[in-house]
Structure formats: C-alpha cells, structure tokens
Structure 1
C-alpha cells in the first residue's frame, strides 16, 4: 500500500477520501484553488498545495499544475474523486508517465466508455441489452432529424461525450427537434468540448437503475447490487436509494451479471457504475458506464457494510477484491438526498452566497452527512453548488424513508436558497412512499413539490417578532459598572457609571404611566407587502397583534434556552430556531426554512420591485442570445434572453407585459450576478409572470 496520496479534487469527496485514507495511515495531500484557500478539505489534509485561480480550468482541471503538486510533495498515488479529471484519459496517462498510481481504471477503459455511441457498440458485443437509437458518424442536422423520425417520437437527444444531464433534451415532436438540437450542441460544446450527438428512442416512464461494480487487476469482478436513481430533475439525480425497490432476485442477478460483463469487456479495474433504464415490463437496457466512484456510492456502503474508497485503494495497490460475490449481502435499506444551493421556485437556479447559519442532524451509524462546507463558508459561482449528501439507513424501506424525512426537518441552512423543502416534500410524497417512481416523477409533480413552505403566517410572523424583540431588549441592556451614555438636548454626550437596573439601563421602550410598545414590519419572501406587528407589554408578558387586525390579540412570553428561542403563545409552549443575517430572517419550520425581510414600508410598488429584480442576472454567466426585438410589445412569459451559467442554459422571461427598450449586453458578453441586463418598460397594468427564469428546453 502506498503511503502518500494526492487527492485531485475538492469539497465533500476530497474530505470523504481523506477519512478512509487517513484511517489506513496514508498521508493525504490536498490541492486547492484560490477560492478554496480556507475550505474544509484543505484543513483536513496533512498538507495542501495551491494550484491556481478559482476557475476550474485554471486549477482543478490543470493537469500540469496537479502533476507539479504531486512531484513537489512526493506523492505515490492520485485519487481523482468524481468530476473534474476523474474520467480524463490524458490525465491517467500523465500519471502513468510520472510513475504515479492512478486510483481508477486504465486510460483505455475510460476511452472505451467515454463516448456513448462507441460504448453501445461494445455492449452489443458483450451481450448487454441496449436502447434502440442512432449513434453514427454523420452528424448533419438533416441526418439526425431523419434518424429521429425513423426511430419515432418521442426521442432523446444526448451529447455523445456528455453526462450529468448536460447537452440532453427530450423532443416530443418533429417541429421542436431543430431548436432542441441547436441548444444541445451549444451546451455540449461548452461542457465537454465536443458537440457530437446521438439519438435514442425515449422509453416512457422508465426507472433509472444502476449497478455498482468492482474489478481488480487479476481479472476478477463483482457487483455490489444496485441503486435506484429515478428521482431526477434536468436528468440529474436528486434522491437515490439502495437496493432498488420491487426487483425480483432473478432480475437483480441478471442486471448485476450484465454489469460485470460490461466492465470486463473493456478490461476494467477499480470502481465503476453501469447505468440501465428499466421499463415497466422488467426489461433493462444499457445507458452508459461511469468510470469512477459515483456521488451516490454511500447508499451502497450503508446496505453492504463495505467502504468503497477502501476497496479502491486496495485494488489500486494490486490487492485482489476484498470480497467474493457470494460473500456480499444486502442488509436493510438506505437513501441519499443531495442538498444543493439552488432555488426550486425558480427552476432550480443555482444559488451563491455565504452559509450564515448551518445546523445538521446528529450523525450516527444510521445517519451520515458527507459535506465539504461549514458555517461561514461561501458557495461560489465556480463549482457545483452541492452543499452536502444526507445519507440514512433503516431496517426496511419505510423506516429508512421516515428517517430521511425526519433528518431533513432537522437540517437548517440560511444565507443561500436550498432545496431542503423540496427534498422533504419528495420524501413525504404518498406515491414515492408506495414505490411509484420513474424518471418523470418530479416533472409530473413539480408544481406541488416546489411550493414554498407554508406555515401559519400569523404565527410565523409572531415568532420572528419575538426574536427581534428579544434581540432588542438584550442588545440595549447594559451590564453593571459599564459606562452608559446619556443624551441631553443641546449638550454633548456625557458618560457616567451606573450600577442600578433602572429604565435608563434597559432602554427597551419603558414609558411613564404607559406600557412599553414595540413595532416591527416584516415582509415574507413571497409576499407583495409587509405586515406590521405591535407588541405591548403586559403583566403576563406581551400582547401582540397584526396592524391589519388590531382587535385580534395574542399573549406571548419568550425566553432563550439551550434548545433555542422558547415561545409560549396563548399557553402553547414551543422551541423555535431563527437565524438573522442583516435584515433577512429565516424561521426553520417542519416544512423547511421560511424567510422574511425586516423592512420599513415606503411608497414604492412591490410589483415594480419584483419586475426590476427579474431583469437582473440571477448569477454570473454569459449571454447566449437575445430573444426579443427592441420596441416590440411582449407579453408576460415571453423569452427575452438566453444566458449560460454553470454550463447550463437558462432563459429569462418577461416578468410582465411591456416593451424592451434597450439590451445592455450582447451575445458572448460576460455578466455578473445582479447586473441589469436590459431596460424594460412595463405597461401601466402589468402583473408579474409567475416564473421569470427557467432552463431552456
């Protein structure tokens, strides 16, 4: 076994690899970009090397800099993690040329599975079922359209060199084919440097089931059972589970053995995942093979009790497979939920910002959290916005799913938008509980799954008001013997030292012969206007009411305990968690975070504010094309601009009826988050469109 390992990746996967390697006594070396200087994986490593600026192409994708780091630190092996250079055959050859062990398959195996068209031809030879489609060399638009027509709609356009849902579109009818093909080519070229496409027959309502395989250097291969990854949006996995529910033992064995044949057909070594589509008749077809460790590998670890990174390291060191097929067993059931910084209410647009508040459920043998971030860290524009993977285990599927739902209700993040509420709704969905799932599940239920948390608004506002009032009362209370400032009309400030607990020490709204009053104005995130709360001090605590309902009074008492803010509302005592960042307040409910702004009302129209906000760049990116003509009327929901961000295309739509009088950027221009992209003149009676930002489709 080698003693010095360089990990050519970042974030949660780098931290995950280090945990196992350091347990084995291996010295771990991290690489990092300037944006990751203070990140968790750098702190966890035994030593770390700066390899370049924040953009991935200048750091984590820079083979030369990573090889220099390996030489500088006398590394003996390199683990690529997943993403970045993990499936780059040139990187594997560079490692071999430098005398370094690459923790993964040979370059030839990566190349064999690197293009979907060539991989499918190999699978046919290995007697692995494949999906009907066109994988030919003629890439003219006319030929691809002809093949799609012959295959029969609906079809799937896929980037031949692609993955992760990039360069992929479903086309339902011939009229939409050319526009979808053009978008796929653009996206694929940016993401993979290759715009070659393949066309496949779309299997309606398929399940996405993948098999974990391992092969050693001695010609032996095993499968560690399967994972169901059908819950997807934009062809990217959201919740994975193992084993796949509802599979017969014979089907499980057939898929496992086919996956091993697929791996051995290309002389595979190490960890790999063979992905299948499974129809409702129990027929499976090869989709692709990921020649690396997968994001969702922890669910396999949970049901088998095996450490897959440990397996990778041992096999790379030349050792045989740790277990024979007959020694591998499935115990219980496991789920993994991917927690992302993204906004489900705006087509899952990636979010950036600082994690001002981060509280996770307690870890145990039945619950683990794979993450590379801590409270105070920044989710930047440069890398994938995944915050963590929440992994749970139960004795059966029902208990594991219940554990997932409970853990999601305990997960608290403020500072960036997340998909936690969306994940919680998925875990609680009655059809998912009944094992009704396919790759179109999320799209069919999207409207209900992406609803924002909807607690009792009056109660939620009261809780936030109590939080602000508690902060105000304690912020202004001075400690004994602390210098106190008095303000006298017409004279400069004088200071004196006082020890009494007098009204002058408290400064919390005391009035002569009248109860203390405090007012707060809060605007819920999805509301058009703010609500005014008024607190009046009474003998039993505080009387609170909304300004719109002055005759509707509630009685509250509150105190801070080790469990958080304890509020007794009309005799009902509960603990609440509230986070504040500037004027932004986040209340953590059982459905997920509920956000409101602490504001002062003015005479500006909130509709106008919303319209202006929707005409700004939602994140850093590049303008792809302008969709509206200057001076021509547009309706709410008409496309205005297509921009590319994080290698995905997004369309910005008109938030109301009006006219575009000026575009501030041209195709190819780079824009920063918050930049005003165009000048929009809304009609007098304009009303905002419900979704102003969506992915191009």
Structure 2
C-alpha cells in the first residue's frame, strides 16, 4: 500500500466500473496490493457478489445498463463521491469507450488503461488497419474506404474475389458482420450489416475484407509503457468460437510453427510501439489453418476475458501491471524475464442452454462450488440470482499443466466436479468440446463447433437416461434420508426397496417415460433398452419445486411422478401437449397470432426478448391457437404457459 501512496500518481482507492466475474477479479488484486475498492451497481445487482467484495458500493441507476453501468455521468459522480483516485473498467461496458476515458481524464481521475486517443484510434477498425499498415504489420486484404457507397464496395469485392466479409467499422462481438459468397448477395448483406452496426454502435460505416475460409484466431498479449516501449506475454489461440464469440482459449497456441510465432510477436510489438501505447492490450490476428501468414485483425485496448491463461503460463498478474503503470511505478519484469512455462486452457461458463440453441438461462443458484486445484473466476455464488438484464457469462474455469494434454484432462475433470446448481449452464457442452477429437488433436479452426456438432449439441442419450434413473430413484426413496426433505447436496447409490416402478421424468432436456428396477437388480429401462444402475452415483439438490440431479458435469432440473399418477391426472408432469411456455423469464415483444387462428408446424407464435437476445416460439404441430394469456410488452416468468395449440378433431 505504501508504494502506491508514495507513487508519482498516488492511488489509495480504485473504482471498478463493471460487474460480474471481472469486477471480482480486479478487486482481488486491488485488495492484495492493499488498495480499497469501490463497486458500482444497478438496482438489479444490489446483492451481487462484486458488491459484497468491495469496500464501498454505490448504486448508479436502474437495471438497464444504459441507465447504470453505461451512464458516464453517474459513474464519474460515483468515483468523486467515493474519493477514488483511479477507475478500472475491466472489459465490456465502458472499457473501450473513448468518451468515458476522456471524461475520467477531465475529472482528474486516473483511468487504468490507455489514453482516450489510443482507445479512439483502435476503436475504429478502419483507422486501426491504417495504423497497422504504417507500422509494417500485414493486414487482411481489403478495402477501407470511409463512408464508401455501394458501387465502391461492390467494385472492391469484385477485385478481392468472393467470398468476402462485410465488417462494421465500430464495435465487435460479431455484430455488423456478414459473409458474402456471391455478387447477388452483396447489396442485401451490406444493408443488413449497416443497419445492425448503426443500431449497435451508432456508426453504420462498414468495410470489406477478403474472407479467410478456414482460419485460426490468434492473439498476442502486449503491454506498452506509453513512450514507445512494449512487452509481450506471448500468444493465445482463441479459435473455438460461436457467432464470433470465444468459447475456449488457451496459451500458448498449439501446433504453431516457431517462425509463425515470431511473426506474431514481432508484428504485435511493432503496432504497440508505433502507437506509443500505454497499458495492457491485445493484438488479434487471423491466419489460414496450416498457413504461415498471420494477418492483423484488430487491437483490443483493454484486458481480455481470456487473460488468465497468459497469467498462468507467464506467472504474472496483469491487473497489477496495469495498476503499477497507472500509478507511475516501474513494471516488475523485463522482456527477458517473461518466460512461458507449461500450458493453460480456459472455458467460459455461461447461463445458456446449448441444447436449445443457446437460449439464455435464468434462476437462483442453490450452490456454486469451484473444483479444487483449478482457477475459478466467478461473478456468482450460492444464492446469486441470474436475470435477463446482462451478458450471460457467469464464470471462467482455468487449468494449468506442464503440457497441453495435462491441462486439457485437468480441465475436463474440473468441469465434471464443478457444482453450479439452479441456473442452466453450458457445463456439459464444454466437456464435450474438450473431449472432441479435433480439440484433443489441436486440428481445430473457427469452424470447430459447426463441424463437431453439425446438428446442434445435445447431451449423451445414455448418460441422460442414467441421470434420470438416478433422479427417479432418489425422488421416491422414502427412507430416513429422503432427498425430498433435504436442502443440501447428498448422494444416493442404492435404493432399499426391490420393485419395478414406471416413471415420467420431465426436465430441461425433455420428457421421458422409464422403468426403474430396484433391489438385487438395479437398472433403468427406456424404450426397451436397459442400463445397469448398480454403480451410478449422482448428487442431488432440492429446489422449491424441482429436484436437481448432477453427474459428471451434466445437470437436470427434474419433475418426477409415477406413471400411474401421470395417467390419472394426479401430480402434474408439467406442460400438457400443445402448451407453449416461456423457456425463461423475459419480455414478450410481439404476439403474432390470435385466438382461434389455425397454424401449421413451425408457424411463429410469439417473440420474446431476454439477455439481449430475441427468441421466437413456434407451433409444435398443426392446430388451432387457444388460451392466449400474454400480450405485447408483458414480462413473463419462466415456465409460464403463454398459449396453447389444440389439435383439431377430424370429422
């Protein structure tokens, strides 16, 4: 603490202008260094984990991020009120907003990051490409005419040769990007990209690049001193992506020739030095798989989500580096002292349902418990509630090992033992990704997910059946350790009764009718196929109206009844055939049908918005609409029946 108090730019208190796992991660380093922290929060986040970790917490507005986390005057006022000398914005929200950086500078606050000028320069992809070219850094062949019209863009596309990629000048995350394979599709793609870019970033300008069809996504972690000096912390591979959003990241990049690595590092340092960049940044590249020519893609002027894998192999704390530079203190290492060792892999754990097209998940966590021996960066804890207001990322799990295979196996084992119960996550999906041959062999590209799961992801059917059988057995065990009376995790390995019982299990993956044999022969039978249940072990948690069962990273939220009760209409099994229910809590933005309207299978019925995504619910079969119980603009809770589709009787 003394070092920061006597620094050229003294810092005692840091306001963290963010939420979730990155806010918590920044605070931990601040506290280790003896610095006080200030959390900002919206009304929806009053009980959030980052609020509890901070020394001071200040509400900056209502749930909508535009009225809270993105509201620059409110954040600046919170910094002044709290007495903070410095502001760290993490990633996302205001972290790459040049106006926010400038507002901090004008308010006399230390922005822990680059100057507003650097943020603005790199915030424009067109300007970034020009700067890269001036620094002698290869860029993807393209055309960057500012405010170019359709004719100019069409001519450029023809000269580049199809396929091409339309890209938004501002922003990222896949928004404002369109692949075009033929001239006939160009105009519509440009219009669509411009509309999305304008709505997302307030800038509808676009440019064109030659499409690299089978690429690897590589990036270099850099750190500039603001005077032309720069360090690198080697490279990462972030090729496993969905809709241009990274899913798995690792360092160092596997199967990368040393000559290509040297090109990456040299280009990244050239660009960082050319800009006289100050602080942590990431220079991103794209390269044809199997090629040796990496092209500059963009520079992110902030800490990256995936920075932990770099920290693991280099043995550094990049947030500490950021804080030291902001305070005017010398950096603790020179380039010669940064020597990578071993391998690290990170997965992003999100509140999503991969089996349902990655629909966002909501709920309250009954338990959050990270696995031993792995780095677990989380923004949620037991009791945390996940709503629909913010990004779906909950946490990150990071492994480290002496080599890649060791790190991969440790991460798989960690995901299988990680306990995040009460909110749907992508945990089981991530395990399948890590176990896929292309990932194990390091032969993947950015097309990994579509190639590995061409029909979409779903859990292993046999494992799902065993888990359902275990849940059914636990649900109807009437012994003194009846799971229905438990509020904590417990394990059931056998059932004391010997009998055959037929069950209906409804869970987040669907509905199944199964037969459970207990006693000397422990087995579950589905559709004539039998599975031995003798050694099947699972962990269970009792929710308000649901039994959660988890095994090897796969979790179900189950409602279970005896088949006889279901047929008699006793205890409900959930939805009746034809009921259309909300898959999550959200806003009904448009109802497309009316009472009595006849619809066909797949007809859009209504549209919902949740977690910044729009979901369309469709008719499961031909029939007539009835019992509409929602309206445009109405917020509905998960599992609420919104309408029904009745099968019309044949005359």
Q: Where on the TM-score scale, by shorter chain, does this alignment land: which range?
A: 0.7 to 0.9
| 1:125 aligned residue | 134
Q: Which aligned pairs between 1:673-688 and structure 2 lie closer than 5 A?
A: none
Does the residue aligned with 2:383 lie in a helix, a strand or coil? coil
**1: CA distance, partners of 2:347 / 2:285:** 21
| Equivalences for residues 563-578 of structure 1 within 5 A | 572-573=534-535, 575-578=537-540
Contact 1:624 1:644 in 2 (8 A): no
Q: In the TM superposition, what is the alpha-carbon distance from 1:278 to its structure 2 partner?
A: 1.3
Distance of aligned partners of 1:545 and 1:473 in 2 relative to their CA distance in 1, 3 Å threshold: farther
Within a 5 Å distance, the mapping from 1:512-551 to structure 2 comes to: 521-525=503-507, 526-531=509-514, 533=516
Q: Where does residue 342 of structure 1 map in the other structure?
A: 352
Question: How far apart in 2 are the matches of 1:104 and 1:313?
Answer: 9
Stretch moving more, 283-292 or 42-51: 42-51
> Residues 335 and 391 of structure 1 are in contact (CA less than 8 Å); yes or no, is this contact kept in structure 2?
yes
Q: 1:318 aligns with which of 318, 328, 350?
A: 328
1:452 corresponds in structure 2 to 459
The equivalent of 2:364 in structure 1 is 354
Distance 1:665 1:265 in 2: 57
Tell me if 1:56 matches 2:65: yes
Tell me what 1:506 maps to.
Answer: none
Residue 494 (structure 1) aligns with: none
Q: C-alpha distance in 1, partners of 2:527/2:98?
A: 68
Alpha-carbon distance change, 620 to 150 in structure 1, aligned in 2, over 3 angstroms: farther
**More displaced stretch, 353-362 vs 172-181:** 172-181
- 1:501-522 Cα distance to aligned partner (Å, 9 max, x none): xxxxxxxxx9xxxx99896834
Q: Contact 2:30–2:36 (CA<8 Å) still a contact in 1? A: yes
CA contact (8 A) 2:578 2:646 kept: no
Contact 2:368–2:380 (8 Å) recurs in 1: no
Query: Normalising by structure 2, what TM-score?
Result: 0.86
Counterparts in 2 of 1:573-592, with a 5 A limit?
573=535, 575-590=537-552, 592=554
Q: Judging changes above 3 Å, is the alpha-carbon distance between structure 1 residues 282 and 356 closer, same or farther for their aligned structure 2 residues?
A: same
1:620 to 566, 569, 586: 586
Equivalent pair of 2:601/2:621 in contact (CA under 8 Å): yes
User: What is the CA deviation profile of residues 570-628 of structure 1, one whole-angstrom value per residue up to 9, with x for unaligned ones?
Assistant: xx4564312232443332222522443224414789998465336x57552574896x9
Contact 1:159 1:166 survives alignment (8 Å): yes
Equivalent in 399, 408, 418 of residue 411 of structure 1: 418
Q: Offset of 1:115 from its aligned partner?
A: 1.5
Q: Select the residue among 648, 655, 673 that pairs with 2:620.
A: 655
CA distance in 2, matches of 1:393, 1:79: 27
Counterparts in 2 of 1:130 and 1:677: CA distance versus 1, 3 Å: farther
CA shift for structure 1 position 644: 5.4
Q: Is the 8 A contact 1:625 1:641 kept in 2?
A: yes
Alignment of structure 1 residues 342-491 onto 2, 5 Å: 342-362=352-372, 364=373, 367-447=374-454, 450-455=457-462, 459-470=466-477, 473-474=480-481
| Cα distance in 1 between the residues matched to 2:628 and 2:179 | 31
Deviates more, 1:143-152 or 1:302-311: 143-152
Mapping for residues 83-102 of structure 1, pairs under 5 Å: 83-102=92-111
Counterpart-to-counterpart distance in 2, 1:197 and 1:617: 36
Instruction: Give the Cα separation in 2 of the matches to 1:477 and 1:90.
Output: 54
Change (3 A) 1:679 1:451: closer
Measure how far apart 1:157 and its partner are.
2.5
Deviation readout 1:307-361 (Å, 9 max, x if unpaired): 1001000111123333222221110000000011101112112211111233321
**Separation in structure 2 between the aligned mates of residue 134 and residue 630 of structure 1, nearest angstrom:** 52
CA contact (8 A) 2:42 2:59 kept: yes
For the 8 Å contact 2:505–2:512, the answer to whether it is kept is yes
Structure 1: gaps spanning 5 or more residues: 479-509, 536-540, 555-568, 686-697
Aligned CA distance change for structure 1 residues 136 and 592 (closer, same or farther; 3 Å): same
Return the offset for 1:138.
3.4
Alignment deviations for residues 522-571 of structure 1 (CA, whole Å, 9 cap, x no partner): 41434444446586xxxxx6877779999x999xxxxxxxxxxxxxx6xx
CA distance in 2, matches of 1:152, 1:630: 51
Is the 8 Å Cα contact of residues 357 and 456 (structure 2) preserved in structure 1?
no
> Is 1:249 the equivalent of 2:211?
no
Cα 1:665–1:477, aligned 2, differ >3 Å: closer, same or farther? closer
Is 1:220 the counterpart of 2:229? The answer is yes
C-alpha displacement at 1:656, in angstroms?
3.1
Q: 2:304 aligns with which of 294, 301, 313?
A: 294
2:40 is equivalent to residue 31 of structure 1? yes
TM-aligned CA deviation for residue 215 of structure 1: 0.5
* Separation in 1, partners of 2:628, 2:128: 45
1:4/1:460 CA distance change after superposition, 3 Å: closer
Distance 1:660 1:575, change over 3 A: closer
Q: Among residues 33, 58, 82, which one is paired with 2:91 in the alignment?
A: 82
Q: For the Cα contact (< 8 Å) 2:380–2:394, is it kept in 1?
A: yes
Query: Is the radius of gyration larger for structure 1 or structure 2?
Result: 1
1:50/1:625 Cα in 2 relative to 1: closer, same or farther (>3 Å)? same
Instruction: Specify whether residues 456 and 164 from structure 1 end up closer, same or farther in structure 2 by C-alpha distance, changes over 3 A only.
Output: closer
- Displacement, 1:652? 4.5
Contact 1:425 1:449 in 2 (8 A): no
TM-score (norm 1): 0.80
Shift of 1:176: 4.4
Q: 1:144 to 1:676 in 2, by over 3 A?
A: farther
Quick check: 2:121–2:127 contact (8 Å CA) kept in 1?
yes
Deviation at 1:9, TM superposition (A): 0.9
Shift of residue 383 of structure 1? 1.1
For 2:462, what is the secondary structure of its paired residue? coil
Query: Structure 2 regions of 5+ residues with no counterpart?
Result: 5-10, 486-495
Q: Distance in 2 between matches of 1:434 and 1:119?
A: 34
- Whole-angstrom CA distance in 2 between matches of 1:636 and 1:48: 51
Cα distance per residue 1:388-440 (max 9 Å; x no partner): 10000010111111111111111122222211111000111112111111111
Q: How many residues align?
A: 624
Q: For the residues of structure 1 that align with 2:185 and 2:521, how far apart are their CA atoms?
A: 60
